[in-house]
Each structure stands twice: as C-alpha cells, then as structure tokens.
A and B are shown apart, each in its own frame.
Chain A
C-alpha cells in the first residue's frame, strides 16, 4: 500500500503540472523510496491515482534505468565505465570489486546486501574513476578507497 504520506505528496505534486500525469515520475521515485521497487500492486494504485492503466505505469517503469519492478538488494553500487572513466582505470576497478565481493557485474551478493553494476557516464569525468552508491557519488577512487566504502555499508 502506498502510505498516506506519500499519497498526499503525490496529490500536491499533481497540482504543479498542467496535466496530472506530469507528476508520474516524481510519484514513481517516492513509491520506490518507500517500497524499494514498483510492485504490480503499487502500479495498480498509481494507475488509479493517475487515471491510467497499470500497463501504462509499467511501460514507464521499464523505460527508465532507475526504476525497478522487482525487489532490490539494500544497496546499489554502480561503477561508471564510460570512456573517460575507462581511460582512467574504471574497468580494472570493477574487476577488482567483482573479485572482492565474489559476484559478477549485474549480480547481487547472496545476503542481499548490495548489487554491483556498471553505469554509463554520470557526469564526474574529471574525478574518474568513480562510483554511485545509492544516491551518493564517490569520486577519485582507487581499489582500497572503493573497498572501504563498500565494506562500511550496512
């Protein structure tokens, strides 16, 4: 269930756009913040709020990288592997993190603590290599630094 608090946040947001649907992306962000992903149940609730079909909600969810339709591990770790970062060792860092965590890119640790992924340019090119952990950027990394950051995650 979408909480009353999130529901009233969504209602207020709807008023800021000429058509209610303008508030859909913000709503999806908040629902995901609350539940960790956008479930079929949440999609049905959002469909009700926005006067859309659940399939239309899921169509949007599936288009954007930052929305998930399945339960997620506690943390997301993304190493940027686009060209500027690759030129400064990002892929070597990623291999080292794979070995350290015992998972491949695209996989989560068995305890559901974190998922390791790679991502396209995050706009931190002069601070390469870098990674995004949930909503935070960590820049100018080497393996030791990155390892410490990941080991400290709950």
Chain B
C-alpha cells in the first residue's frame, strides 16, 4: 500500500505500521476486542447488529451481509461453513490484496464474528493462485491466531472449535463467482452452479455455506466495536460505511483511497487521484471494475453508491476506478475488455462461450479498419442475447461494458468504420 498514494479511514488506519500485520501489533491497536464482545452476544443479536449497520457485500454484488448471514439454517445436523472469497480478479481491483497483506488479523477477526453469528464450524479462505504473498501472509496470521487460541478447539467459546483453511486457486477468473469458487474448492473445474439451491442450503461440499468477500469481513470487527449507528455515520443512507477505491489508469496518482461510499466520482478522480496528466483531459471512467459500464466525462458528478450509479446505468462493483484520458481509443479499450472475457469464459453456457468470442472478433475487426456499419448493431444484438441468459453473471459482466461503450462513445466506433482505420494513432499500443 505504501508505495502508492493512499487515503485511510477505519479499515486502513494502521496499515502504514508493519506491526499491525502481526498479532501483537493488532492486539495493541485494540484488535480482537470485537471478537471478544461477540463471544458474549447471542448469534441472533449479531445478525441483527450487522443488518442494522446496513453493511453490503464488497465483492461486487452489494447484497446485505446481515441478510446473507440470516439465510444460514439455525437447527441442522450438518456442518456449516464460511468461505472467504479472496479470489480478487476483477480487472481494476486490488484492495483485497492490501487488506490481506497489511491487515490479515482484521480479516480473521471478521471471520470469527461471522462464524459466531452463523454457527459455522470451519472457514475456507480461497485466495487466487497468483496472490502468493497475500496467501503466505494469511497463513502466517492463521498460525498466530491459532497459537493465541483465537482459532482451534475453543475458538467460538468452550469446546466450540473453528478453523481457517487457506486454500489457493490456480488462475481462473470465474472462481471469483461464488459457486465457481465452491466447485474449485471441491477440487473441480471452477464452473458455476445453477441457483437455487443457494450456498446457504447447498454450498461447499454440499453443506450450508456463507460466502463473503475479504473486505466485507474486514468491516465487521469495527461494527462490533463501535456499533451500527457509528457505521451508518459513514456513507449514504442506503450504502453505509467506507470502501477502498482502487484508482488506476491515466491519472497522476493511481492509488488506494478509503473513502465513505457516496463520495463523488469526480472528487476521487480529480482531487484525490490528481486528474489526468498535464494537457490531457479525462474521456471516460469505468467506476467499479471492468465489468461495469463506463461513464463519459460529462457524467462523473455522481456519488459512488449503487442507488446513484444505477441511475446512470452502471454500478459500484468492486470500486475499481479506471480512468481513460483523451488519447485513448475506446474501440481499442473495448478490444482489451472483450479479449479478457473471451479468455476467461468457463465455456459452460453457449451464449457466453460463443458470445464473448464473437464480440471480441467483431471489435478487433472494427479496430483494424475492416468493420462494417452493421457490426455495431450485431454487437448490441450479441450482448442482448448474452445478458441474463446464462448460469452465472459472467455473461452479463461481458455484455455490460461493451453496451456502455456503445451507449456513450458510439461515434468513435462509427468513425472507425467510416475511415476504415483507427482515428487515434496516439492511443496506447494494442
């Protein structure tokens, strides 16, 4: 975190101190106090507290965390599991990595509170395979927590054990989709499952399971310590709390900015991240990881919270903000985006497997100067036939950004077709 510009709030407050990553340091900063409090709190009250806080999942979908926890069956003879989704792979997102590297015990404390609330026996923390260092940090922290008795036979009170198993993926974006992750965790290809049944009924290894993102867990100890009202003091009425916005692309200060939800996008891009380089203008901004539709420069005066972003036909996603300046060719950017989805489609559903390939092929043709006028409508037609037609949301995630590009920058696509070449020779190399 410290090699890039950043702004801190409660999640990242002590990240500059290496000691915060150790158990002694974390305890010195008041760590595990929320867990101790949770030990003496009935499970139902914990769920109610998190519901009252309004915490929404920070992995992209933004679903109420307290609600999710409440779906776990209370009375059951089956073991119950938690999964910490640390398969951060959404292009433009790099916050979970920092949360694991700099605050691993904050993640563990959040997991323990969730385990108490849901009565879970074990947590599988699934880290993307490329994150070797964050996974090492989490394993080290789990060992420390076990030595201190936070994990192990009495983790959830007398004779109620809890263990965290850190498990590593092997390079597949789709394993960030929660049921793709569950398949991968079971040692299979990471192809998403049809829902229902939802993970709370049939999750990891067929047992009731709750899947939460790394950042979501990291917020929980703070809610325990300071209360739901305090948490609601950050952010908007419908989207409380802070989040870590990762800003990348063509700005002066790409970095990590922990700010209240509802902070305006133009404030983040121009004030915190310093705006574009000297003499350049911002052309477009992807506000929430690559799956989310782009916004043109004229629509950046929007609070970064789903209730406002939806009005502009985009979403918060993972809070990964990508900035493109006026040198950037939006057709070229679309090629890069569509290549990614073509490469990462798990191949299970025809609409997605074929659609992502065709979208990329057509976009490349337009960029090369061989596009035809009808291509634009074909693109939109393919996108419409992918959206909402598949087992998981991957096909939507592939369709939305291209729909967004055509919504706001259609004239650039038309110009490519008219000139039969790319009119932006100064754009980044493809």
Is B185 interfacial (CB 8 A cutoff)?
A: yes
CB distance from B325 to the nearest CB of A (A): 8
- B131, A123: Cβ atoms closer than 8 Å: yes
If A67-B170, A121-B91, A123-B131 touch, whether A140 touches B3 (CB-CB below 8 Å) is: yes
Question: For window 84-107 of chain B, which residues contact chain A by CB distance below 8 Å?
Answer: 88-94, 96-97
- A92, B130: Cβ atoms closer than 8 Å: no
| Contact among B96, B130, B204, B320 with A125 in the assembled complex (CB-CB below 8 Å) | B320
CB distance from B130 to the nearest CB of A (A): 5
Is B333 interfacial (CB 8 A cutoff)?
A: yes
Is B129 interfacial (CB 8 A cutoff)?
A: yes
Could you say which of A20-28, A97-105, A143-151 contacts chain B? A20-28
- Tell me the bound Cα distance from A128 to B185 in angstroms: 30
- A-chain residues with CB within 8 Å of residue B4 when the two chains form the complex: 126-127
Considering the complex, give the chain B residue whose CB is closest to the CB of A122: B130
- B322, A84: Cβ atoms closer than 8 Å: yes
Q: Which residues of A contact B (CB under 8 A)?
A: 16-19, 21-26, 28-29, 50, 59-60, 63-67, 81-84, 86-89, 91-92, 95, 119-128, 132, 135-137, 139-140
- A83, B170: Cβ atoms closer than 8 Å: no
Could you say which of B7-15, B225-233, B250-258 contacts chain A? B250-258
CB distance from B278 to the nearest CB of A (A): 16
- B92, A64: Cβ atoms closer than 8 Å: no
- B-chain residues with CB within 8 Å of residue A59 when the two chains form the complex: 189
Q: Which residues of B contact A (CB under 8 A)?
A: 3-4, 79, 88-94, 96-97, 128-133, 163, 165, 167-173, 184-190, 204-205, 207, 246-250, 254-256, 286, 290, 320, 322-324, 328, 333, 336-337, 340, 343-344, 346, 428-430
- B428, A91: Cβ atoms closer than 8 Å: yes
If A127-B4, A137-B133, A140-B3 touch, whether A121 touches B92 (CB-CB below 8 Å) is: yes
- Most chain B CB atoms below 10 A, which of A50, A83, A87: A83
- Tell me the bound Cα distance from A64 to B324 in angstroms: 31
User: Can you name 25 A-B residue pairings with CB atoms under 8 Å?
Assistant: A18-B79, A21-B187, A22-B187, A23-B187, A26-B168, A50-B187, A63-B189, A64-B171, A82-B336, A83-B286, A84-B249, A84-B254, A86-B429, A87-B248, A87-B322, A119-B130, A120-B173, A120-B340, A121-B92, A121-B93, A123-B94, A123-B130, A124-B97, A125-B92, A139-B3
- A17, B189: Cβ atoms closer than 8 Å: no
- A-chain residues with CB within 8 Å of residue B165 when the two chains form the complex: 16-17
- Tell me the bound Cα distance from A119 to B189 in angstroms: 20
If A26-B168, A64-B172 touch, whether A18 touches B249 (CB-CB below 8 Å) is: no
CB distance from A70 to the nearest CB of B (A): 16
- B-chain residues with CB within 8 Å of residue A81 when the two chains form the complex: 336
- A-chain residues with CB within 8 Å of residue B207 when the two chains form the complex: 18
